[in-house]
Amino acid sequence: MNVLVIGATGYIGSAVAAALTRAGHDVAALRRPGGSAPAEGLGTVAGDLTDPASLTLAAKGFDRVVHAGPPLGERADLAAVDALLAAGSPLLHTTGAAVLGGGAVDEESAPDPHPLVSWRAEAERRVLAAGGQVVRPGLVYGDGGGLVPGLLAAKAAERGAGVYIGEPGVRWPVVHVRDLAELYVAVLARGVPGAVWHGVSETVRLDAIAAALGGGRAVSWPLDEARAELGPLADLFTRDQDVSSGRTRRALGWSPAHTSMIEELRR
Are both 228 and 182 inside the same structural domain? no
Provide the pLDDT for residue 51: 97
Are both 73 and 130 inside the same structural domain? yes
> How many Å is the Cα radius of gyration of the chain?
18
> How far from the centroid of its chain's Cα atoms is residue 76's Cα?
18
CA-based nearest residue to 210, from 232, 226, 199? 226
Provide the pLDDT for residue 65: 98
Provide the pLDDT for residue 263: 94
Are both 7 and 131 inside the same structural domain? yes
| CATH code, domain carrying 92 | 3.40.50.720
Are both 182 and 169 inside the same structural domain? no
CA-based nearest residue to 48, from 61, 38, 57? 57
Distance CA 140, CA 213 (A): 16
Express each pLDDT in 164-201 by its tens digit.
999 999 999 999 999 999 999 999 999 999 999 999 99
Domain extent at residue 158: 140-173+202-244+252-266
Are both 128 and 25 inside the same structural domain? yes
For 185, what's the count of Cα atoms within 13 Å in the CB-facing half-sphere?
Answer: 22
Are both 131 and 29 inside the same structural domain? yes
Provide the pLDDT for residue 150: 84
Are both 29 and 153 inside the same structural domain? no
Are both 220 and 239 inside the same structural domain? yes
Are both 184 and 230 inside the same structural domain? no
Provide the pLDDT for residue 58: 98
Are both 238 and 146 inside the same structural domain? yes
Provide the pLDDT for residue 199: 98
Express each pLDDT in 216-253 by its tens digit.
999 999 999 999 999 989 999 999 999 999 999 999 99
Predicted TM-score (pTM) of this structure = 0.95
Are both 109 and 220 inside the same structural domain? no
* pLDDT less than 50: residues of the chain: none
Are both 85 and 147 inside the same structural domain? no
Provide the pLDDT for residue 67: 98
How many structural domains does the chain have?
2
